[in-house]
Amino acid sequence: PPGEPPLFAYPNGIMDAPTGSPAKAADDLKSWVAAVAARTRPSHVHWCDGSDAEYRRLTEAMVADGTLIPLHERKQPGSYLHRSDPSDVARLEDRTFICSENEADAGPLNNWKSPAEMKAILDPLFEGCMRGRTMYVVPYVMGPPGGDAAKVGVEITDSPYVAANMRIMTRMGRVALEELARKGHFTKGLHSTGDLSKENRYIAHFPDEDLIMSFSSNYGGNALLGKKCHALRLASVQARNEGWLAEHMLIVGVTNPQGETTYIAGAFPSACGKTNLAMLVPPVADRAQGWSVETVGDDIAWLRFGEDGRLWAVNPEHGFFGVAPGTSEETNRNALASCRANTLFTNVALKPDRTVWWEGLEPAPPECIDWLGQPWTPDSDHPAAHPNSRFTAPAGQCPSISDRWEDPQGVPIDAIVFGGRRSRVMPLAFEAFDWEHGTYLGATMSSEKTAAAEGTVGELRFDPMAMRPFCGYHIADYWRHWLEMGRKGNAGGGDKMPKVFHVNWFRRGEDGRFLWPGFGDNMRVLEWIVDRVQGAGDAVETPLGYRPTREELHMDDLGVSAEDEEALFAVNRDDWRAECDQRDAWFDLCGDRLPPELRQQNDALRERLG
Ligand code: GDP
Ligand code: PGA
Ligand code: MN
C-alpha cells in the first residue's frame, strides 16, 4: 500500500545476526544465494525472517495480485484460498528424480539421471527464470530447534505462495539461521514456479550434494522442499548413513485408563489416513473409560535411538498439509479445528459467504465457486473441490496436539503400524511375530493409488513402508537398514524395538461398502495395540500374524455383524498364495541386493498358508 516502505529489500545485515555462526556455513549460504541470484536474475531478493509482519505483507501482496482470496474475517480469520494452475494439483512421480552418482544407488523404484545430465536440463531452465520476480530466501529448521534431530535447510523460491506455506509448515526465518549457527550445515533447495508447464516440471534430488532443484510446480510435495524432498528423500539417505530412520509416519500418543501413554508411529501412503489417525477423536464410551489420544505429527517421523536403547521420534514439521475432502466434524473434528484460522486452502470450493467447502464437509451448498473458479451447483458433473485439495494449517492450533510435540528429545515409540488401502485380501489388523517379520510386512505393503499423486486412482501397487515415492536410495539397502536397526543390541534395538502391526481400514464387502466404520472407531484397534504393548490384550495366531479377537475390538458395540467381522478378517488361502507370488516378483526387482531374510519371510508365510 502507498506510504509503506518497499515490500522487499536486500538483506540488512541479517546474515550477521547469528553470532557465532560457523563462518563457513554463513559464507556458503551467502555465496550460494549470490550465485543463484546471478543465474536467475530476480528483480529483488528478500531474506525471510519469519515474522508476523512479514507474513502479513506476503499475504497482502498476494491478495492484491489475485494469488490469494481472503476468506470471511470472522468465520475464517487470517485464512485464504488459493487456486492452483489446473495442471498442478498433486505430486508428479514421473518427474521426480534421484540424481545419485551411480544409477544403482537410486534403486529400481526411483527415476534416475546423473547429476551432470540433470543439471544440463535444469541449468538452462533456471537461467533468468526469476526476471521480474522477487526471490525469497527461506531458511527453515526441520525438527525442534536445539535438539540433536534438528536439521537446517534453505529454500530459494520465486513463489510467495511457497514462502507463505513454508512459514506454516516449518520453523522458518531467524530461528533457522540461529540453528544454522549451531549446526554449521544446511540442505540447499532451489525452486522456481517456472512457466508451470508439465514439460518443464522436474523435482530433482542430489543426495551427494545435499541439494534439491524443483522447477515448474507449486504443489506442496513438489515445492515445499522442507517436506517430502528434504525431510524424507534426502533425510532418508542421511539417516542410513548416520544410523537413524526418516519415515513417512504419523506419531500419535494413546493414554489408557491407567494413565500410561503409549506412542505409536504409523506409515500409510499419501491420502490413506495418517492425518486422520494422528488426530483421532475416541468414541464417547472410550473417553468415559479414560482413554485419550494426542497428536505429535501427521506425516513425517524422524526416529533415533535414545540413551535407553529405545527408538525416539520427533515430528520435523511445524504444520499440517492435510487432504480437505472427507474432513468433517464427524470424521476429523481436530483437523477442522486446526484449519479454522490462519490457514491457506488450496483448490477447495468457495461459498457465497466467503467460507470454504469441500465434498464431505457438510451437505453441498446450493451454489458455490468450484476449485477452477467456475460457478458450481450440486448438479455439476465434477466435484467442487479438487479430490487432492489441501489445507496448510499451524500444528499448534490442533486441539489434540501433544504437550510433547516440540520436545527436542521426541517421544519413545512402542509400536509401528503399517497400513495401505486395500479393498480386498488384507485383513483389518494383525501383529507381526517380531521385528524381522515386521520389516517384511512393511517391505510388502501395497495400496491402491490415490489422488495425492498423478496417475490412475485405484490401481494397486507395492508401496513399501509408504516410502515408494520418498526413499532417496536403493529400496533393498533401505530394507537392510531396517533389519540392521533391529539388531543393534545394547546400543538400542533388540527387545527394545517397537512391536509392529499391519492395519487396513479400507476392506470392502461384495456390495462395495467399507466393512469397517473407520475414523474414530479405529480407536478399538489402537486400544488393542496399546494392550499388546503393555503385555495384555488377547490375540489369535493366524498365518499372517496375531489378530485381535471380536471381544478385544468390541465388535458388538460397534454394530459390526459376525458376517462382516468374518469378511474383515478372512484370509483366503488362494488369494494369499497369489499374493506371495507377487511378492516374490516384487523382490526380484532388487536382484542380489535383496536382504535374504525378506525372501525367507515370504517362504515362511507360504508354508504357514499350507
Ligand atoms: P493422509 O494423506 O495419509 O494424511 O490421509 P488423510 O488422513 O488425510 O485421509 C485421506 C482420505 O482417507 C480422506 O478422504 C479421509 O476421509 C479418508 N480416511 C481416513 N481414515 C479413514 C478410515 O478410517 N476409513 C475410511 N473409510 N476412510 C478414511
Ligand atoms: P500426504 O502427502 O498425502 O502424505 O499428506 C502430501 C504431498 O504429497 O505433498
Ligand atoms: Mn496427511
Nearest CA to ligand 1 atom 6: 273
- What are the distances in angstroms from CA 557 to CA 325, 521, 553? 28, 10, 9
Torsion-angle region of 20 (φ positive above 0: left; ψ -120 to 50: alpha; else: beta) = left
Per DSSP, helices labelled H in 390-502 are: 435-443, 475-485
- The predicted pLDDT at position 3 comes to 37
Say if CB 559 and CB 420 are below 8 A apart. no
Nearest CA to ligand 2 atom 3: 270
Confidence of residue 28 (pLDDT cuts 50, 70, 90): confident
Q: What is the pLDDT of residues 367-397, one digit of tens each?
A: 999 999 999 999 999 999 999 999 999 999 9
Of residues 48, 99, 129, 272, which has the active-site annotation? 272
Say if CB 290 and CB 419 are below 8 A apart. no
Using the predicted structure, report yes or no on whether residue 81 has a pLDDT greater than 80: yes
What are the domain boundaries of the chain? 23-68+93-243, 246-319+402-572, 320-394
Average the pLDDT over each of 46-50, 154-158, 438-442, 498-502 and give the range with the smallest value. Answer: 46-50
Residue 382 assigned as binding residue: no
Using the predicted structure, report yes or no on whether residue 161 has a pLDDT greater than 50: yes
CA distance 465 to 444: 8
Confidence of residue 6 (pLDDT cuts 50, 70, 90): very low
368 catalytic per annotation: no
Architecture of domain 23-68+93-243: 3-Layer(aba) Sandwich (3.40)
Q: What is the pLDDT of residues 179-227, one digit of tens each?
A: 998 888 999 999 999 999 999 999 999 999 999 999 999 999 999 999 9
Q: What is the pLDDT of residues 45-59, one digit of tens each?
A: 999 999 999 999 999
Residue 559 assigned as binding residue: no
Find the 2 Cα to ligand 1 centroid distance in Å.
46
Nearest CA to ligand 1 atom 22: 518
CA distance 112 to 367: 46
CA distance 333 to 555: 24
CA distance 217 to 92: 9
Find the 514 Cα to ligand 1 centroid distance in Å.
12
Please name the fold of domain 320-394.
Phosphoenolpyruvate Carboxykinase; domain 2 (2.170.8)
Largest CA distance in the chain: 80
> Which residues contact residue 314 at a Cβ distance below 8 angstroms, ignoring those fewer than 6 apart?
143, 144, 147, 149, 297, 301, 302, 407, 408, 409, 410, 411
- The predicted pLDDT at position 22 comes to 62
The three-state secondary structure class of 124 is helix
Which of 391, 320, 321, 319 has the alpha carbon at shortest distance from 349?
Answer: 391
The DSSP symbol for 189 reads E
Find the 503 Cα to ligand 1 centroid distance in Å.
13
The DSSP symbol for 233 reads I
Using the predicted structure, report yes or no on whether residue 14 has a pLDDT greater than 50: no
Which of 173, 195, 196, 176 has the alpha carbon at shortest distance from 186?
Answer: 176
- The predicted pLDDT at position 455 comes to 86
- 23-68+93-243 and 246-319+402-572 in the same fold: no
- The predicted pLDDT at position 491 comes to 65
Q: How many CB atoms lie within 10 A of CB 591?
A: 10
- The predicted pLDDT at position 229 comes to 98
What is this model's ipTM?
0.97
Please name the fold of domain 246-319+402-572.
Phosphoenolpyruvate Carboxykinase; domain 3 (3.90.228)
Q: What is the pLDDT of residues 582-608, one digit of tens each?
A: 999 999 999 999 999 999 999 999 999
In this prediction, residues 20-38 reach a mean pLDDT of 82
Ion ligand 3 nearby residues (CB, 5 A)? 274-275
Which of 393, 255, 408 has the alpha carbon at shortest distance from 327?
Answer: 393
- The predicted pLDDT at position 7 comes to 32
The three-state secondary structure class of 96 is strand
Using the atom order of ligand 1, give the atom closest to the CA of residue 269: 3
In this prediction, residues 337-363 reach a mean pLDDT of 98
